[in-house]
Amino acid sequence: MSTEQFDVTIIGAGPGGYVAAIRGAQLGLKVALVEKDKRLGGTCGLRGCIPTKALLMSAHVYEQTQHAADYGVQIEASAIQLAFADVQKRKDKIVTKNAKGVEFLMKKNKVTVFNGAGRLALPGKVEVTGGCSSRSGACLTCKA
Ligand SMILES: Cc1cc2nc3c(=O)[nH]c(=O)nc-3n(C[C@H](O)[C@H](O)[C@H](O)COP(=O)(O)OP(=O)(O)OC[C@H]3O[C@@H](n4cnc5c(N)ncnc54)[C@H](O)[C@@H]3O)c2cc1C
């Protein structure tokens, strides 16, 4: 088990966590970010705000197309079809792009990302378990 010292250790790479990590790094602190999900972005980026808005946009386009004639646009009704697999594909692409964007921001700001579940083991000590890719079974220590 390895130990690395950080000024700040943040558990969770949702909007709360990754924004705090960036700000800490901008202020000159050595920051660690621990995330148990394989991708960064949290509920908002992976399951909440971002994917739901992508799905809503597809629903909006589908709905608008059904009323195209109201706007003087003629589309054969039978030609309008919702290809749900493609809707999902588009949504997944957006989610992946967003997660990669967060990953890029962590690299750019020199935030060390640990992939695994974080636990406050002792005051000032965070333990990362379960597939920690940065340091296998690493124990992070942050200055309290
Ligand atoms: C369907 C849906 C739609 C939404 N739409 C919007 C919207 O349009 N606009 C809006 O403002 N808000 C929206 N929200 C709310 C938004 O997602 C949350 O407010 C936001 O994600 C909270 O951010 P957070 O960083 O606090 O937590 P989260 O985004 O939940 O991030 C927490 C992260 O911590 C990780 N984690 C938890 N425990 C551990 C651990 N022990 N070790 C390591 N990692 C851990 C989790 O895996 C997760 O990645 C929506 C939510 C849902 C469910």
Number of domains in the chain: 1
Cβ of 13 below 6 Å from ligand 1: yes
Q: Give the model confidence (pLDDT) of 15-67 as tens digits.
A: 999 999 999 999 999 999 999 999 999 999 999 999 999 999 999 999 999 99
Cα gap 88→135, rounded to integer Å: 34
pLDDT at position 72 is: 96
Mean pLDDT of the chain: 90
| pTM exceeds 0.75, yes or no | yes
Q: Is 121 in the pocket of ligand 1 (CB under 6 A)?
A: no
Give me the residues paired with residue 117 across strands: 129
> In testing the pocket of ligand 1, which one of 23, 44, 91, 133 has its CB within 8 Å of the most ligand atoms?
44
Closest ligand 1 atom to the C-alpha of 128? 42
Q: For a substitution probing ligand 1, which of 33, 38, 43 has the most ligand atoms within 8 Å of its CB?
A: 43
CATH number for the domain harbouring residue 83: 3.50.50.60
Domain that holds residue 22: 4-143
Contacts 24+ apart (CB under 8 A), 15-18: 15/41, 15/42, 15/44, 15/45, 16/42, 17/42, 18/42, 18/102, 18/105, 18/106
